[in-house]
A = this chain, B = another copy of it.
Amino acid sequence: MSAVIAQAITEATAAFRGDPLNARATFKSESQLTNGFRSEVRIREHSLTVDEPTRIGGTNDGPTPVELVLAALGTCQEITYRAFATALDIPLEHVAVTVEGDIDFRGFFAIDPKVRPGFDAIRVTVNLTSSASAAEQARLREMVNRHCPVLDMLTRPVPVTFP
């Protein structure tokens, strides 16, 4: 599997260096509310159900949108660890990530305009199993946190428009 990933990274890097336009891509999610707070999502050939817990009026048929943000960050960290471990030839046997987010619902519920509606703190716990030295693992971590796409989007503003 690592050989497949290494080859894919090598080929993609060559294509992107050859013509930066090759590196541009657009991703899409389409969704709609079906009942109450329940939403059905289509992403390419994949589908996903998002919902709210029953205590706030949902039917709990799936994770909430803010939980999806935590899952996106955790899995993006993992995939970025795998990619950079492969590219840097640093041994990495296993990676698991737990992400926690703290929210104050007075923001969403419009009770206090000074309270933000999203998470006011996110904590990421990365568990690596690796025979690499501590220095190599530190170098890997530094590269991952500089290049993890979802970490970038949560820590630096993304221009969002409603065309």
- Chain A interface (Cβ within 8 Å of chain B)? 1, 4-5, 7-9, 12-13, 16-17, 20, 23-33, 35-37, 39, 41, 43-44, 46, 48, 50, 52, 55-57, 62-76, 78-83, 94-111, 116-126, 143, 145-163
In-complex Cβ contact of A161 among B8, B122, B160 (8 A): B122
Q: Decide if the interface of chain A is mainly helix, strand, loop or mixed.
A: mixed
Assess the A161–B109 pair: CB atoms within 8 A.
no
Assess the A111–B75 pair: CB atoms within 8 A.
no
**Separation in Å of the A147 CB from the closest CB of chain B?**
5
Assess the A71–B68 pair: CB atoms within 8 A.
yes
**Separation in Å of the A40 CB from the closest CB of chain B?**
9
Assess the A41–B71 pair: CB atoms within 8 A.
yes
In-complex Cβ contact of A109 among B9, B32, B36, B110 (8 A): B9
In-complex Cβ contact of A71 among B25, B43, B107, B116 (8 A): B43
Interface centre among A9, A27, A122, A155 (most CB of B within 10 A): A27
A67 to B52, CA, bound (A): 20
User: Nearest CB to that of A76 among chain B residues?
Assistant: B65
User: Nearest CB to that of A151 among chain B residues?
Assistant: B160
Assess the B152–A79 pair: CB atoms within 8 A.
no
Top 7 A-B pairs, shortest CB-CB distance: A65-B76, A8-B57, A32-B96, A118-B153, A5-B57, A118-B152, A29-B70
A145 to B110, CA, bound (A): 12
In-complex Cβ contact of A65 among B44, B75, B157 (8 A): B75
A32 to B57, CA, bound (A): 31
